Amino acid sequence: MSMSILSCYENLTDQDLQVIVIPKWIFPLIKNKRGFTMTSASSSSARSLFAESKQRLAERVQVNMNNIASLSRQIQRGSKSNELLMKAARDMACTENLIESSEENLKKMQLIAVHIGYQYENIQKSAQMLNEISEQVASMQR
């Protein structure tokens, strides 16, 4: 059992072992695996410490795996949010052009409304003149 935990430390250098937080009692076993002297770990307290450390190590590995998964999800969301921002910027640029063309169309419509107003006034004047002319013609025929 101790060999499976120790096998993950086989390829580590002394520098790596100094950086990694491991129980002090396991360090001589790792050194023995790498060719150093071995200390006795056959007592029941050492075994219980080993089992406890093994459990803590498994928990830490699980926590680290969860953290890595969370980090990868955040990175993935980040890349998607960048894509969404780019799409939003493109849509905004398209919308800006539409707003400008709509503004031009509104100005043209206002100009047309003014011209229709002038034409309406002219039609009213012509209708009024037509009534006056009709009255004059009727008075001339009498």
DSSP string, 124-137: HHHHHHHHHHHHHH
Domain count, the chain: 2
| C-alpha distances in Å from residue 94, one per residue of 59, 89, 90, 98, 108 | 52, 9, 6, 6, 21
State the residue range of the domain holding 14: 1-41
pLDDT at 125: 94
Same domain, 61 and 37: no
pLDDT at position 141 over 50? yes
pLDDT at 114: 95
Same domain, 36 and 48: no
What integer best gives the mean pLDDT of the chain?
77
Same domain, 33 and 49: no
Contacts of 6 (CB under 8 A, 6+ apart): 26, 29, 30, 33
Tokens at 114, concatenated: 């003014």
CB atoms within 10 A of CB 49: 16
Model pTM score: 0.38
pLDDT at 108: 95
Tokens at 103, concatenated: 């503004």
Q: How far apart are CA 6 and CA 112, in angstroms?
A: 87
